Amino acid sequence: MADSDFPGWHGTTIIGVKKGGHVVIAGDGQVSLGQTVIKGTARKVRRLSPGGFEIVAGFAGSTADAFTLLERLEAKLEGTPGQLARASVELAKDWRTDKYLQKLEAMLIVTDGKDLFVITGAGDVLEPEHNVAAIGSGGNFALAAARAMMDSEKTAEQVAREAMAIAADICVYTNGNLTVETIGG
């Protein structure tokens, strides 16, 4: 079977919302292969504690690739305790220049409760505008929904949950089985 014949892994939606001194990262649980849902309860949002500092990370893309990146991020954070921005930039540099890492197909949203970043394989470490970041197949739907709610009285968690519900209603590769982690405040 040629690579172009393989149906490919699809789907997830991960959102990060920073509001009211809290940062929430939420992710759905659906893993799809082509038109088939393989699993509906995957955990794509995780807490990391490198060097005693709390980090929350969510990933979209290949699970094995994402875990490789999370391990690398933890190692970078152990080398630069409490410096998420620096560790993220170091990871992005390695990801862009290392021949093994270049093949990894995933994206990350990470936070330490103060900063919120999207890390990509193109070497990007992006701090989102409007305190909302979203990745994955339903990311744009969740992003638009969350941005529309940011001026409301809703908490960061309420914004994240409602944005994910909207994305799940629109994106066939996103479900309503959420993992939600909050940090900060």
Beta bridge partners of 9: 33
- The pLDDT tens digits of the residues spanning 23-44 come to 999 999 998 888 899 999 999 9
| Count of structural domains, the chain | 1
Cβ distance 116 to 127 under 8 Å? yes
Flag whether 120 is in a domain: yes
- Please report the beta strands in 92-131, taking only residues with DSSP state E, as ranges in sequence order: 106-111, 116-119, 125-126
* More confident site: 27 or 51: 27
Flag whether 99 is in a domain: yes
Q: Is the pLDDT of residue 104 over 90?
A: no
Is residue 61 exposed (0-12), middle (13-18) or buried (19+ Cβ within 10 Å)? buried
pTM metric for this prediction:
0.91
Flag whether 96 is in a domain: yes
- The pLDDT tens digits of the residues spanning 164-178 come to 999 999 999 999 999
Catalytic residue among 12, 13, 174, 182: 12
12 is catalytic: yes
The CATH number of the domain where 131 resides is what? 3.60.20.10
Specify the pLDDT at position 1.
Answer: 38
Flag whether 97 is in a domain: yes
Domain span at 36: 3-172
